[in-house]
Amino acid sequence: MSTYKTFAIAGVGLIGCPILDALLARNAHVVVLTRSSKSDTLPTGGKYGVVDYNDVSSIAKLLKENQVDVVISTVGQEALGQQQTNLADASKEAGVKLFVPSEFGVPTAGYKAGLLAEKANFNDYLQKIGIPSLRIFNGYFTELVFGLVGYESNKKVNIVEKGTAPISFTAITDIAGYLAHVLTTHPPEKLENKIARLEGDRVSLVDIAALFKTDVEHVTEIDGPHGPLITFLQRLFESGAGSTGWDPVTNSEGPERAGSGNALWEGHQWKRIVDVVKI
């Protein structure tokens, strides 16, 4: 049985809100860290605490007052540097038992340079200051699959490379439910300094076209405001790095294969792409 009783969530966006809902559904005590006290911008439920992410002492004070055991960071890319580091420092000062860093994507363990190294380096920092971590690698959010292939631009699956490498997809609700389940049911020794490699579905970009009975369009880049990022991700996935079992050190599937973390949610029926997204 878990000994974690009180949770703090930093960030109430795409993944933070579902995690909040999942924890509340399990009657957990949750404190949401927010920069604004405007209630009309916040989801219902939980206790809210306004924090300044540049003020470590004030964050630590709030965590101590609420006797927070676990901090879950879902902050965006722009906050992965100093702000998330300040959150870690405050967690250390407050005696937090477990830190869930803002991963929620493809595996980052082992990267030494580039965009994904920032997340890997942060986990190293957690180890340096002595806070156990639980890292969630879930591949790509199932709900965003059409954005990954630029479907809205021409109703086709637009592919930059061959598009044949397998990619792990996991539904946001499954990720949130999984995290709430393991944090409230499993003992710390099963979670501390562990990596949960989740997978709800495993398909290639070419497979996505077949699933939704549409055509493949081979392009040099993806159009749209997020085109450069999506183009980067498609090229990354072509190397195999879209699988949650990927090991960037060996450039192959590692000993802990994709979906190996699913076992901690025994009996759960993981959603496939066709269960979540409809044309």
For the cut 80, the answer to whether the pLDDT of residue 40 exceeds it is no
Q: Which residues contact 104 (CB under 8 A, 6 or more apart)?
A: 15, 74, 136, 138, 175
* 114 pLDDT tier (thresholds 50, 70, 90): confident
The domains of the chain are located at: 6-139+170-197, 142-169+200-255+269-276
Q: Please say if the pLDDT value at position 79 is more than 80.
A: no
Tokens for 95? Answer: 């005696």
Tokens 């890292």 belong to 135
Model confidence at 35, pLDDT cuts 50, 70, 90, reads confident
In this structure, are residues 128 and 99 in contact, taking their beta carbons and an 8 Å threshold?
no
214-224 pLDDT, tens digit each:
999 999 999 88
Quick check: 81 and 102 in contact, CB under 8 A? no
Say what the pLDDT of residue 225 is: 87
Strand partners, 115: none
Average pLDDT, the chain: 93
pLDDT band at 48 (very low <50, low <70, confident <90, very high): confident
> 0.85 cut: is pTM over it?
yes
Higher pLDDT, 180 or 2: 180
Contacting residues for 106 by C-beta, under 8 A, at least 6 apart: 116, 137, 139, 140, 168, 236, 237, 241, 242, 243, 244, 246
Q: 118 or 44: whose pLDDT is higher? A: 118
The CATH number of 6-139+170-197 is which of 3.40.50.2000, 1.10.10.10, 3.40.50.150, 3.40.50.720? 3.40.50.720
Q: What is the pLDDT of residues 126-165, one digit of tens each?
A: 999 999 999 999 999 999 999 999 999 899 999 999 999 9
Cα separation of 158 and 146, whole Å? 10
Q: What is the predicted pLDDT for the residue at 113?
A: 86
Q: Which are the contacts of 2, defined by CB distance < 8 A and separation ≥ 6?
A: 183, 184, 185, 186, 187, 188
Contact call for residues 76 and 13 (beta carbons, < 8 A): yes
Output the six-digit token pair for 64. Answer: 């101590």
Q: Does an H or E element contain 170, and which?
A: strand 167-170
Query: Residue 9's beta-bridge partner residues?
Result: 32, 72
